[in-house]
A = this chain, B = another copy of it.
C-alpha cells in the first residue's frame, strides 16, 4: 500500500512491525558524516521539544529524478523512450529515412543525433510525446517501462533506481514528510511508473509539461497532447514549479546537478533548519562518475555553491553500500 496517497504510505511505514524493529532506517548508507547529517536533521525537525521543530504540514521534501532517484547515463532515459518511439513509428513515416534527427536514430548514429542539438531533441520529444490523448500516452509509457531495457545493465529502466534514495524517501515519509518529485522530465512520462516505484502519489510528481487541450469527441471527453512546450521544470523553473504545485518552501531538497541548484537555493532561503542534499556521481564502476564537465547532469556551479555553503554532498562511491535494489538479491 506504500504506493498510494501519502497518508497510506505513512500508515504503512509507521504501522509495519518489520520497520519498527529496524534500528537503522538507512541500511544502504555507510556510516559517516553524510548519513549522520540526514539522521540528525530528521531528528531535529521532528522533535517537538527542539527549537528546530517543524510542524507536519511544513515537512515538504523535494527530489529531482534524473541522476538523483535513478540513473541518467549514457543519456536521459526519457530520450531512450523517444528513440524507441521513433523506431516504432518509423514504418508510418518513410520520410524519416532521409530526415534528421530521425535518420540518425534509424541508422543508430548517436553522434549525428547529438549533433542535432536541443532543437533536434525537442523535435523528437514533440514527435513522440504529442498528438495523442493523455490516456493513449499513459498506455504507451506504461508499455515501454514494462518492456524496454537499459543498454548497459540489460534491465528495465525502472530497476535502475537508487536503493539508498528509496530508503531515504521511506524514512522521511515515516517521519510525516510529504515527498515530491520536482524533475525536468515530463510530468506525464513519470507518473505512470514513478508512483509505484518511489511510493510518491501522482499528484506529488511535478515535471515539465506540454500544452494540452480538453475536448468532447463523439460524445467522449478527452485531453489531447499538443505539440507545444508549456513549461520546462529545470533550473530557475524548479522553484517556480514548487511554488505553483506545492505552495510551500521545502525544508528538504535533493538533487545532483546544476539544474537543481535553484531548487536547493529556494529551500535554503526558507530559513530555519533545512537540508540541501547533493548526490555526487563518483562511482565509475557500479554506476557512472561525472560532474563539472559532463554533458548530462553537469555538476559545476552547484558543486561550488554546495562546498561554499557547507551543503551535504553524498558520494555514491563512499556513502552508498549498494546502488541498485537488484544488487541486494
Contact = CB atoms under 8 A, between A and B. Distances in A.
A98 interface: no
Interface in A144-196: 176, 178, 180, 187-188, 191, 195
A1 B56 contact: yes
B247 A205 contact: yes
Given A187-B244, A203-B245, A221 B268 contact: yes
A236 interface: yes
Contacts of A203: 178, 180, 203-204, 245-248
Given A203-B204, A221-B269, A7 B11 contact: yes
Interface in A1-42: 1, 3-11
B212 A236 contact: no
A243 B212 contact: yes
A241 B268 CA distance: 29
A8 B212 CA distance: 33
Given A202-B248, A214-B266, A268-B221, A178 B5 contact: yes
- The number of chain A residues touching the other chain, given as a range, is 35 or more
Given A7-B10, A222-B269, A245 B245 contact: yes
A328 interface: no
A5 B57 contact: yes
A328 to B, nearest CB: 27
A329 interface: no
Contacts of A188: 247
A247 B194 CA distance: 12
A220 interface: yes
A96 to B, nearest CB: 30
B202 A247 contact: yes
Given A57-B201, A221-B239, A247 B1 contact: no
B202 A214 contact: no
Interface string A249-272: 000000000000010011011000
A88 interface: no
B221 A265 contact: yes
Contacts of A285: none
A257 to B, nearest CB: 17
A269 to B, nearest CB: 4
A93 interface: no
A201 to B, nearest CB: 7
Contact of A240 (B55, B191, B213): B213
A127 interface: no
A130 interface: no
Contacts of A268: 221
A6 B4 contact: no
Contact of A4 (B56, B191, B243, B246): B56
A322 interface: no
| Closest 10 pairs between A and B when the two form their complex, measured CB to CB | A7-B7, A202-B247, A221-B269, A4-B57, A214-B239, A214-B236, A203-B246, A221-B265, A191-B247, A7-B10
15 contacts: A4-B55, A5-B6, A5-B178, A7-B7, A7-B9, A8-B56, A178-B203, A187-B247, A203-B246, A214-B237, A214-B266, A221-B266, A221-B268, A221-B269, A222-B269
